[in-house]
Amino acid sequence: GDVECFSEYMELWIHRMRIEGLRLWLSTILRIQSLTSLESLNHQLSACGFGLHKDPDRNYIFRVMYSGCFVQLERGHYVIALNLMKRISRFGGRAHNYVMKCPVVAAPPNREHIQCDPDFIQVTREIPMDSWNNELTWSIALRGRLVVALEDASLIQVNADIQKPYITVQGQRNVVLSPVLQTEGQFLPLKLVSGNYAYSMEATCPNNQYSSKDTVLHIYKRRMGLTKRGGYENETLSVSSVSVNQTNTFTWSETSGFVQLIIPTTLIQKIKNCPNEKDPNLQQAVFRIDVILTFRETNNKMLWTMENKSPCS
């Protein structure tokens, strides 16, 4: 099998003929009872930072978090040794030893800066390196289907601008955004992709067609570093803490995909004169919000900033 290294985990491809050996090893070291379904197995594995998933060819991907059980630090690498037994008879078997090994990496980029106005969304993030500190050649994937090279981003009506170490993508809201949660907001389903890597540029804009006493924001839950492209997407992160820089007065809740924040509008909103408007009486509401999220499943915080401008009125 081949080991692949990502920002927070490593993965080993295992042929389906060898999966029995992995199950035996897991049941031995974790003292897991014999399990029929993959789902119930993963429920127990997740406590140790492990995951096991089928690929489209019915082979398996074994995922190990760098913070997982039995992962050792050796000479600047995360290392875990797997002892995959292959039963030959009822009484014994042959062992195949696999070593999963990836370089120790700095904490992944964890900041996202979103700017929304009535017409556009703009997202800025730091450009990530791979585990060996190499620069990657990026393409843009919109809605998982439309993939173009960065320089061809205009083909999917997106602008992409690199000012190292940052990349900024921009698009018209009515073109690139999809409704989210009963149209309370709009979602940008955009990732950077390179080889087997994916990097989230996903973002949301609040629905600002009307002003109300509460501002409702949606933050997309995800790992912020390099992840497996097209990989096992059903991982659900669970929030352990939320803090807002501008105020302590807010409520939050979560779904499998989003954290929803509700903040009294008067605590964050400012009213400004509209720039470049012929009518000097036109004004617009603006706000900036800085949020720090922590998830139980990752050691890295998520730093999320949203700047929003409402239509002039």
Beta-strand relationship, 77-89 and 72-74: antiparallel
Q: Does 304 score more than 90 pLDDT?
A: yes
Q: Does 90 score more than 70 pLDDT?
A: no
Q: Which of 251 and 23 is assigned the larger pLDDT?
A: 251
pLDDT tens figures, 269-296 = 999 988 776 788 889 999 999 999 999 9
Percent of all residues in the chain with a pLDDT value above 70, rounded to a whole number: 91
Residue from 13, 203, 233, 226 nearest 136 by CA: 226
Domain ranges of the chain: 3-103, 111-309
- Min mean pLDDT across 83-97, 235-249, 258-272 is at 83-97
Q: Which of 98 and 166 is assigned the larger pLDDT?
A: 166
With contact defined as beta carbons under 8 Å apart, do 92 and 85 qualify? no
- Provide the pLDDT for residue 238: 94
Spatial CB neighbours of 56, under 8 Å, sequence gap ≥ 6: none
pLDDT tens figures, 191-214 = 999 999 999 999 999 986 566 899
Mean of pLDDT over the chain: 89
Q: Which amino acid is at 26?
A: L
Quickly state the pLDDT bin for 135 (edges 50, 70, 90).
very high
**Alpha carbon distance 285, 250 (integer Å):** 19
- At 298 the three-state DSSP class reads coil
Which residue bears the tokens 């600002």? 208
Omega cis (within 30) before 165: yes
